[in-house]
C-alpha cells in the first residue's frame, strides 16, 4: 500500500502535544508514515486505501510493554487458577518445560492476533524459557508473518532450585550461553532505526531466577549494543522478602546496584515499589509496565500508579502473560487500570485513592505515549506528522457502546469493547 486515508472520524484522538481530539478528523499516510492529521476537509481527497470512519473513534495504536506470549497455550490451567505468584510459577514451570519451537510460533501468533483485535499495534514479549530447541527467532519470525511491531525481550533464568532459585534446574540456562545468545539475536534482529518493526531487549527474568552477576553483565551487554533492558521487579510481598533475604536490600536498591535504572530500562509490575524506589525511578527515568489484570489474578496487590505518575515515573500498561491474566485484551487492560487505581493505590490514604486517581485520558496516555516512552520510541504512541501510521478504530454502533456518544474516547475504556474495527500497523 502506498497511501492510506482515514477520514470523517466521529472523533480522532491524536495524543499529540496539544492532546487534540478532532470531531470529523482524519489521517493521511504514505508508505506507512503519517503525512497529515486534521479535519477531513483539509486532507488529500484520494488515496490507494480509503476508510470512512464516520461511526468510529480513531486513536493511536496501543503499546503493550509486557507479555509472555508462549503462555497463550496455558490459560486457566486448573491447579494454577488460585495461586499467588510463587506457587503459580512452581505449578506451571514443568508444563512450560515442554514448550517446542512450533508452540512458540503458534502462541506468539495467537497472542498477537488477540492484541491486534483489541487495539494494540506494538508489543513487547518476554520469553525466558528455551527448552527443546526453542529460540527467540521463532517468535520474531512469527511476528514478521503477523506484521505486528515487535520488541522481543531475550529473557533468561540461570538460578535453579538447587542453587536457591525458584525454577526447577531443568529450565535454567548457563549464564555464558545466555549472554552469547543475547548478543547473537541483537546482531541478527535488532533494528535501531526509526519506524523499526523489530527490536531486541535484554531481559533476565527476575531476582529469584537469575544471579546478580547475570543482571550486571546483561546491563553491560545491552548498553554496549544500545538496546533496552527489561525484567520483573517488586511484584508481590514474597518477591520483596526474597530480595531482602538473598540480597539484603529492596528491589529498587537491587536494581540500582546492578545498573538497572535509566531511560533504557523498564520493569514489569512494581506493585510493591516503595517511596524511595518511586523517587529513584522518577529521578533516573526508569520505566514501569503496569499489569493490573495479572496483579489482581495473582492477588499481588495494587501498584501505586497514581503516585508514580505524580512523581514523574514513565508508566505504561501491559497485559502480562495469558497464564496470569488469561485475556490478552489490550483495551480491556486499560479498563482494569482505570478502575483498579480508583480502589486504592496500596499507599496511605490521600489523592492516590478515589474516583480521581485515574481518568480515561490518563489510562489512554499511559498505553500510548507512556508505552512509546518506556520502549524508547519517538515514532509511535501519537498521530502526528512523521509518526508511524499505527492507527486503530472502534465502531460506536455496537450494543455495548449504545448511549456512550457523550464522550466517545472515554467510552473505549469505561465500556467493554469486544473487538476493534480496524488495526493498522
Q: Which residues make up the interface to Zn ion (CB under 5 A)? A: 320
How many residues are given for the chain? 425
For Zn ion, which is the closer residue by CB, 320 or 362?
Answer: 320
CB of 149 to Zn ion, least distance (A): 20
DSSP secondary structure letters along 161-200: GGGT-SS-GGG---HHHHHHHHHHHHHHH---STT-SEEE
CB of 113 to Zn ion, least distance (A): 20
**Is 251 exposed, middle or buried (CB count within 10 Å of its CB: 0-12, 13-18, 19+)?**
buried
Question: CA-to-CA distance for 251 and 79, rounded, in angstroms?
Answer: 29
Q: Which residues pair with 124 in a beta bridge?
A: 151
Question: CA-to-CA distance for 371 and 385, rounded, in angstroms?
Answer: 19
Instruction: Determine which helix (DSSP H) or strand (DSSP E) holds 156, and give its type and residue range.
Output: strand 149-156
Question: CA-to-CA distance for 164 and 37, rounded, in angstroms?
Answer: 55
CB of 160 to Zn ion, least distance (A): 19
**H helix and E strand count, the chain:** 14, 17
CB of 350 to Zn ion, least distance (A): 29
For Zn ion, which is the closer residue by CB, 214 or 389?
Answer: 214
CA-wise closest residue to 374 among 312, 303, 316, 290: 316
CB of 64 to Zn ion, least distance (A): 12
Count CA atoms within 13 Å of residue 331 on its CB side.
25
Tell me the residue ranges of DSSP E strands in 217-329.
228-233, 265-269, 287-290, 315-317
For Zn ion, which is the closer residue by CB, 256 or 320?
Answer: 320
For Zn ion, which is the closer residue by CB, 7 or 290?
Answer: 290
Tell me how crowded residue 79 is: count the other CB atoms within 10 A of its CB: 11
For Zn ion, which is the closer residue by CB, 114 or 320?
Answer: 320
Residue identified by cell 543482571 is 215
Q: Are 40 and 46 in contact (CB under 8 A)?
A: no
CB of 321 to Zn ion, least distance (A): 6
For Zn ion, which is the closer residue by CB, 239 or 365?
Answer: 239
CB of 162 to Zn ion, least distance (A): 24
Tell me the residue ranges of DSSP E strands in 23-112.
25-30, 33-39, 49-52, 56-60, 62-64
Q: Are 221 and 179 in contact (CB under 8 A)?
A: yes
CA-wise closest residue to 124 among 154, 156, 157, 153: 153
For Zn ion, which is the closer residue by CB, 264 or 320?
Answer: 320
CB of 141 to Zn ion, least distance (A): 22
Q: Which three cell numbers stand for residue 206?
A: 527476575
For Zn ion, which is the closer residue by CB, 134 or 205?
Answer: 205
For Zn ion, which is the closer residue by CB, 121 or 300?
Answer: 300
Q: Which residues pair with 169 in a beta bridge?
A: none
For Zn ion, which is the closer residue by CB, 327 or 359?
Answer: 327
CB of 408 to Zn ion, least distance (A): 32
For Zn ion, which is the closer residue by CB, 217 or 320?
Answer: 320
Q: Which three cell numbers stand for residue 395?
A: 465502531
CB of 380 to Zn ion, least distance (A): 22
Q: Which three cell numbers stand for residue 242?
A: 526474597
CB of 348 to Zn ion, least distance (A): 28
Q: Are 417 and 113 in contact (CB under 8 A)?
A: no
Sheet holding 11-13, edge to edge: 21-22, 11-13, 56-60, 391-395, 422-424
Terminal Cα distance for the chain, rounded: 12
Amino acid at each position: 500500500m502506498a497511501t492510506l486515508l482515514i477520514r470523517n472520524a466521529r472523533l480522532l484522538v491524536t495524543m499529540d502535544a496539544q492532546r487534540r481530539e478532532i470531531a470529523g478528523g482524519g489521517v493521511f499516510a504514505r508508505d506507512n508514515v503519517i503525512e497529515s492529521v486534521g479535519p477531513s476537509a483539509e486532507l488529500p481527497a484520494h488515496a490507494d486505501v480509503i476508510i470512512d470512519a464516520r461511526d468510529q473513534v480513531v486513536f493511536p495504536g496501543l503499546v503493550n510493554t509486557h507479555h509472555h506470549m508462549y503462555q497463550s497455550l496455558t490459560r486457566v490451567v486448573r491447579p494454577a487458577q488460585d495461586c499467588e505468584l510463587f506457587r503459580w510459577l512452581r505449578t506451571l514451570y514443568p508444563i512450560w518445560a515442554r514448550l517446542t519451537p512450533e508452540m512458540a510460533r503458534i502462541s506468539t501468533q495467537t497472542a498477537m492476533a488477540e492484541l491486534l483485535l483489541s487495539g494494540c499495534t506494538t508489543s513487547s514479549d518476554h520469553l525466558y524459557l528455551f527448552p527443546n530447541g526453542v529460540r527467540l527467532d521463532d517468535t520474531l519470525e512469527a511476528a514478521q508473518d503477523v506484521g505486528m511491531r515487535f520488541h522481543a525481550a531475550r529473557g533468561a533464568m540461570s538460578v535453579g532450585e538447587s542453587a536457591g532459585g525458584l525454577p526447577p534446574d531443568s529450565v535454567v540456562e548457563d549464564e555464558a550461553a545466555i549472554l552469547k545468545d543475547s548478543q547473537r539475536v541483537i546482531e541478527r534482529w535488532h533494528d535501531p532505526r526509526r519506524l523499526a518493526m523489530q527490536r531486541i531487549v535484554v531481559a533476565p527474568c527476575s531476582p529469584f531466577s537469575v544471579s546478580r552477576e547475570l543482571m550486571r553483565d546483561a546491563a553491560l551487554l545491552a548498553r554496549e549494543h544500545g538496546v533496552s533492558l527489561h525484567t520483573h521487579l517488586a511484584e508481590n510481598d514474597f518477591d520483596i522478602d526474597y530480595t531482602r533475604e538473598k540480597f539484603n536490600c529492596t528491589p529498587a536498591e537491587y536494581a540500582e546496584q546492578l545498573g538497572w535504572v535509566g531511560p533504557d530500562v523498564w520493569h514489569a509490575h512494581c506493585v510493591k515499589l516503595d517511596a524511595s524506589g518511586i523517587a529513584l525511578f522518577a529521578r533516573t527515568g526508569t520505566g514501569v509496565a503496569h499489569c493490573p489484570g495479572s496483579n489482581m489474578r495473582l492477588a499481588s496487590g495494587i501498584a501505586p500508579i497514581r503516585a508514580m505518575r505524580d512523581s514523574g515515573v514513565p508508566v505504561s500498561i501491559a497485559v502480562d502473560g495469558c497464564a496470569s491474566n488469561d485475556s490478552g485484551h489490550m483495551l480491556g487492560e486499560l479498563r482494569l487500570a482505570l478502575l483498579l487505581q480508583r480502589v486504592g493505590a496500596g499507599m496511605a490514604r490521600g489523592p492516590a485513592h478515589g474516583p480521581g486517581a485515574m481518568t480515561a485520558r490518563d489510562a489512554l496516555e499511559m498505553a500510548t505515549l507512556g508505552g512509546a516512552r518506556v520502549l524508547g520510541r519517538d515514532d509511535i504512541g501519537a498521530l502526528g506528522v512523521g509518526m508511524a501510521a499505527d492507527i486503530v478504530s472502534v465502531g460506536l454502533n455496537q450494543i455495548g457502546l449504545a448511549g456512550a456518544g457523550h464522550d466517545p474516547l472515554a467510552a473505549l475504556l469505561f465500556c467493554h469493547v469486544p473487538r476493534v474495527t480496524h488495526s493498522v500497523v
